[in-house]
Amino acid sequence: MLIDPYIQQILISIGIGVILAQGLNIITGLTGQLSLGHAAFMSIGAFSGALLTIRTGLPLPLALLAGGVVPALAALAVGWPILRLSGDYLAICTLGFAEIVKVVFLNLELTNRAFGLTVPQPETTIPLPLLVLLAALGVTLFAQSVRSSRFGRALMAIRDDEIAAAAAGIDVASHKLQAFAVSAFLAGVGGCLYAHVLGYINPSDFGFLKSVDMLAMVVLGGLGSVPGALLGATILGAAPELLRFMATYRMLVYGAMLVALMVFRPNGLLGGINLVEFVMRRSGRPPRRTGGSP
């Protein structure tokens, strides 16, 4: 690509952030289940894909698939007991799971312990920055299809009132578990891309602050909003680099910007707007009604 490498790095950071934010938005924004441990699924996907590439020379598309499937299976295993909880209790459990995964990877011989892994650059016909952006676009369209589907409407019903959703015939436990697995799959894909693009991963890279970064993207854009997650990831992915000229004050301005946005837009920048409505509003057309009273 005929783009400055520095700009490419920013675009890659934004693309991976979009994938992670859209994944977390499914379980936290649509389903209403607060997760503070999504960095664990990102790390599982990163190390799974990296190890397959290093040990078997697996092509990148297959490594990405495996990098998504392994954390999805982990989410199914851990989600069955902890998704019976909600609110702060669920957040603490997911945070504890993330710390367990990090400590295990830091002491596991397979992951080279605290030294981390050097991942060879994959051979692709598409430049990696473009591949990351295409993956981000694909994940965004997938997230919108989930939100607009019957499954997505069931998730939003669970978010609004679990008792009413169960009374309407929705299997609450099953839908929560499926949403958790889909969310973990996307986090794993984002982690696998992160590993192959960066070329080096360390378990310490996937700590608590990484989960907070993902949550900040979703909250900033608007919980449950697909374009909101896209916008939040774009802003938070680019802001640290765009403010780099301020040297030691850039993180102060970065934090103040987040506080100001949350004060003036407590529901997020695009809270409550789905992708179809967003495009129609921008084009000047009224949103299409799907049913119900006018």
Q: Which two tokens mark 71?
A: 């954390």
Instruction: Label residues 130-169 b or e (16+ Cβ within 10 Å = b).
Output: bbbbebbeebbebbbebbeeebbebbebbbeebeebeeee
| Digitized pLDDT (tens) for each residue of the chain, 294 residues in all | 557 788 888 899 999 999 999 999 999 999 999 999 899 999 999 999 999 999 998 899 999 999 999 999 999 999 999 998 888 899 999 999 999 999 999 999 999 999 999 999 888 888 888 999 999 999 999 999 999 999 999 999 999 999 999 999 999 999 999 999 999 999 999 999 999 999 999 999 999 989 988 998 998 898 899 999 999 999 888 887 777 766 677 667 777 877 887 788 878 888 755 555 556 666 666 555 443 333
Total domains in the fold of the chain: 1
Is 73 contained in some domain?
yes
Tokens describing residue 153: 């409407």
User: Can you read off the two tokens belonging to residue 50?
Assistant: 């990296």
> 145 with 138: CB under 8 angstroms?
no
Question: What pLDDT, on a 0 to 100 scale, did the predictor assign at position 294?
Answer: 32
pLDDT for res 265: 80
**132 vs 124: CA distance, rounded Å:** 12
Residue 247 lies in a domain: no
Q: How far apart are CA 251 and CA 267, in angstroms?
A: 23
State the DSSP string of 140-187.
Answer: HHHHHHHHHSHHHHHHHHHHH-HHHHHHTT--HHHHHHHHHHHHHHHH
pLDDT at 242: 75
The H-assigned helical ranges of the chain are 5-24, 38-56, 60-82, 87-107, 128-148, 150-160, 162-167, 172-198, 208-221, 226-242, 250-264, 275-283
In a domain, 141, yes or no: yes
Domain ranges, residue 25: 5-206
Q: What is the pLDDT of residue 292?
A: 37
Residue 168 resides in a domain: yes
Residue 266 covered by a domain: no
**Within-domain flag for 291:** no
Strand partners, 117: 201
Residue 110 lies in a domain: yes
In a domain, 61, yes or no: yes
Task: Identify the helix (H) or strand (E) that includes residue 201.
Answer: strand 200-201
